Amino acid sequence: MSNGPGARRGRQLRRAADGGWLASRGCSCLAGAPGQPFAWLLALCLGLAAPARAQDEPPAGDAGSPAPAEAEKPIPTTWYAQALAYSESGINVTHFWSKDIDKLRAETVVAGHRVVTIVNGDTYYAYDLLSRAGLAIKRSPVAVTQDAARRRPFGSEVDAVLRLGGEYMGTETLAGRTVDVFQVTDNLGKRKVWVSNDDRRLTIRLTLFRRATGQTLHTDFLNWSYGLPIADAYFVPEADVRLLQVGFEEYLKKQANREPLGPVPVLYTDLLHGH
């Protein structure tokens, strides 16, 4: 294992995030690869919705899924939200921007380092904006194909919960907003999501309970905005960032061997290799 400054910095970042949060698959049931480090941050892919009108009952013949509270509207092509995740171990704030179905930029601070994740077309980038170093990984063809079915690159956790067999639990009022609640329970723990009662299905809140540790991770999203004029260049790494090019098969091999890939964690792995 390398002991140079870059390698030591990468290990420090991994320890800071992994030690302070719920970093195993038990808190990342929506992730793809079992045991993926830092997969708890996938829980940040949620959204805080605007107020919506409640429905008295779901449509006939569809008792397991509530009806949207409003008529369908054109889906905005750009989104922004700020996610606040907190547990017994601490607090983390992440900013998300997206454009169309295949462009994402996420920024969070780990141990004083500004970690940036960008997904753009067939490439996934992860780098430390402080050291200006990171990775460029080719995305799985499966993940690229699945882009077409995504509501947004983030903020659609309800779809993943339903894929896992989640059930509609009813309607509640949360922070003055009418929301629909979905939940899934399995041998790993329990995931519960509160989503907007409209066709956009933005998640307001997520709780992840992990049986192995007895810990619960809570995530709320704030300041949702859409229709922002975001240039495509915002989803391209800064020109002076040094990026190590990694093929998808090489990435999988290193993951299987638990080898470190670079100076920052690989987050939001569903966008890298699919669900």
The pLDDT of 212-223, averaged and rounded, is 90
- Tell me how many degrees the CA angle 202-204-208 measures, rounded to the nearest 5: 110
Higher pLDDT, 203 or 133: 133
User: Where residue 66 falls among pLDDT bands split at 50, 70, 90?
Assistant: low
Taking the whole predicted model, whether its pTM rises above 0.85 is answered as no
The answer, yes or no, to whether residue 70 has pLDDT greater than 90, is no
User: Where residue 16 falls among pLDDT bands split at 50, 70, 90?
Assistant: very low
Q: Closest Cα partner for 76 from 223, 225, 187?
A: 225
Structure tokens at 19: 């030690």
* CA dihedral sign of residues 256, 259, 261, 263: positive
Q: pLDDT per residue over 131-144, tens digit each?
A: 999 999 999 999 99
Sequence spans of domains, the chain: 5-51+68-273
Angular region, 199: left φ>0, alpha ψ -120 to 50, beta rest: alpha
At 72 the pLDDT is 55
Q: 5-51+68-273 architecture in CATH?
A: Clam (2.50)
CA distances from 66 to 56, 61, 196 (A): 10, 11, 11
Q: pLDDT per residue over 167-193, tens digit each?
A: 999 999 988 889 999 999 998 899 999
CA distances from 267 to 61, 107, 167, 264 (A): 39, 11, 27, 9
Distance CA 225, CA 47 (A): 10
The answer, yes or no, to whether residue 45 has pLDDT greater than 60, is no
CA distances from 171 to 43, 69, 80, 185 (A): 22, 11, 25, 19
CA distances from 63 to 57, 58, 66, 167, 184 (A): 9, 6, 7, 11, 17
Determine the distance from the C-alpha atom of residue 263 to the mean position of all C-alpha atoms in its chain, rounded to a whole number. 20
Give the DSSP H/E element, type plus range, for residue 79.
strand 78-87
